[in-house]
Amino acid sequence: MGRSYEQLSLDDRCEIARLSANGSSVRQIAAALDRAPSTISRELKRNRGKQVGYKAGYAEQRARARRWTGSRLDREPGLRRAVLERLGQGWSPEQVAGRLARDHGRKVISYETIYRFIYAQLRRTSDYSWRRYLPRGKSKRGCRGKKGGSPASFIEGRVSLAERPIEAASRKVPGHWEADLMMFSKYGQAVLTVHERTSRLLLGIRLASKVARGIARHLVRLFADLPESLRQTVTFDNGTEFAQHLALHRLSIETFFCDPHSPWQKGGIENAIGRMRRFIPRKTDLAALTSHRFRRLVAAYNNTPRKCLDFRTPAEAFSQVLHFECESTSRPSPGRRG
């Protein structure tokens, strides 16, 4: 059988340093440690400092530095550029890894490798601008939440989410939406966001005020332009800004509300707002954000691949649904000439 070899440990290096300082020869040290003389000779030659001689801590540090070859993104500049470019566009590591795999027809890199690379840069360089490559722009992960009173009892005609059609929960049938307000630190500023559950398409409307009647008018105008099959239900939280939801019933749209203190029940829009926060943080002054820039940011969200869509983009998924609906409604009936 062949002889097996083990790396020298820190304890071994401490003993080598002690014996070497006492004047022991290479062969005497090797005999004391039950190692080959060549192993000791190589250790003393490689890990000795010019100024300090052989020190166990310094030798251990030198040995570890030689074994570390860097992450894959350190070794492959082309792949690193491709990953960082997409992260800079607001993609998450999982979206980057999934889209690269879809484009190349094979797995290129894992999202965990990307996360480890970013966190390694944070630790190694103490440059916290690297955190901006992460989806939420945070160095630490966590959740915050605080429960307060609910205005659910003030909403006329409120129907619980438990009564929503079962096909809405499955996300397999298009036409079921979620709506919420994206709030900002400056008083009175908000964006009305609407999210389609199947395609994950996001629509955003900047508001002049949060008055319920005005929000209802915006929603009616938005949904009136869609085919009837793509405007079946809308789910809200219990904010009084949605108190005029009954206006949507004129378009045969059913409206439902989450349970009090349960925003996770409309997780699609909550996730979408969280992603948009990367580009439009709470401290943003909407008055200084041009309409062109706002539309570009919403378009960037809709053109970012999603794992839940097999790394298609929400725009691609919704356009496919919309094309199918238009084709089915424009098809000539039997007996009519095209």
Angle among Cα 267, 272, 275 to the nearest 5 degrees reads 125
CATH of the domain at 281: 3.30.420.10
Q: Specify if 334 maps to a domain.
A: no
184 in any annotated domain: yes
pLDDT bracket for residue 215 (50, 70, 90):
very high
83 and 52, same structural domain? no
Give the amino acid at 198: T
pLDDT of residue 334: 44
Please tell me the predicted confidence (pLDDT) of residue 149: 52
Residue 71 has pLDDT above 90, yes or no: no
**Residue where one domain finishes, among candidates 23, 48, 67:** 67
> Are residue 172 and residue 297 in the same domain, yes or no?
yes
The pLDDT value given to residue 74: 85
324, pLDDT greater than 80: no
Do residue 85 and residue 60 come from a single domain?
no
Same domain, 102 and 35: no
pLDDT tens digits, 72-87: 888 888 999 999 999 9
Task: Identify the pLDDT of residue 29.
Answer: 92
Domain termination site, one of 67, 99, 114: 67
Please say if the pLDDT value at position 142 is more than 80.
no
Does an H or E element contain 113, and which?
helix 111-125
142 inside domain: no
CA gap 309, 94 in Å, rounded: 13
242 backbone dihedrals φ, ψ, rounded to 5°: -105, 20
- Shared domain for 86 and 158, answered yes or no, is no
pLDDT of residue 138 exceeding 50, the answer is yes
* Mean pLDDT across 138-156: 61
pLDDT class of 331 with cuts at 50, 70, 90:
very low
Alpha-carbon dihedral sign for residues 302, 273, 207, 286: negative
**Residue 221 is assigned to a structural domain of this protein:** yes
Res. 92: pLDDT tops 60: yes
Residue 337 lies in a domain: no
Last residue of a domain, one of 29, 51, 67: 67
**Count of domains observed in the chain:** 3
**76 and 161 fall within a common domain:** no
pLDDT in tens, 275-296: 999 999 999 999 999 999 999 9
User: Which one is predicted more confidently, 144 or 200?
Assistant: 200
Residue 336 pLDDT level (bands cut at 50, 70, 90): very low
Do 163 and 43 sit in the same domain of this protein? no
Helix pair 77-88, 111-125: axis angle to 10 deg: 90
Residue 3 lies in a domain: no
- Are residues 203 and 288 both part of a single domain? yes
As a whole number, mean pLDDT of residues 21-44 equals: 91
* DSSP result, 45-104: HHS-BTTTB--HHHHHHHHHHHH----HHHH-HHHHHHHHHHHHTT--HHHHHHHHHHHH
Q: Do 108 and 91 belong together in one domain? A: yes
Judgement on whether residues 162 and 300 belong to the same structural domain of the protein:
yes
Same domain flag for 187 and 307: yes
State both tokens at 287: 């008055």
Residue 1 lies in a domain: no
Q: Say if 292 falls within a structural domain.
A: yes
Q: Please tell me which residue, 331 or 242, carries the higher pLDDT value.
A: 242
Residue 184 in tokens: 């900002």
pLDDT above 50 (res 223)? yes
Residue 250 burial by CB count (10 A; 0-12/13-18/19+): exposed, middle or buried? exposed
As a whole number, mean pLDDT of residues 88-104 equals 92
- Say what the pTM is: 0.61
The whole domain housing 108 covers 72-133
- Is there a single domain that holds both residue 194 and residue 83? no
Question: What share of the chain in percent tops pLDDT 70?
Answer: 88
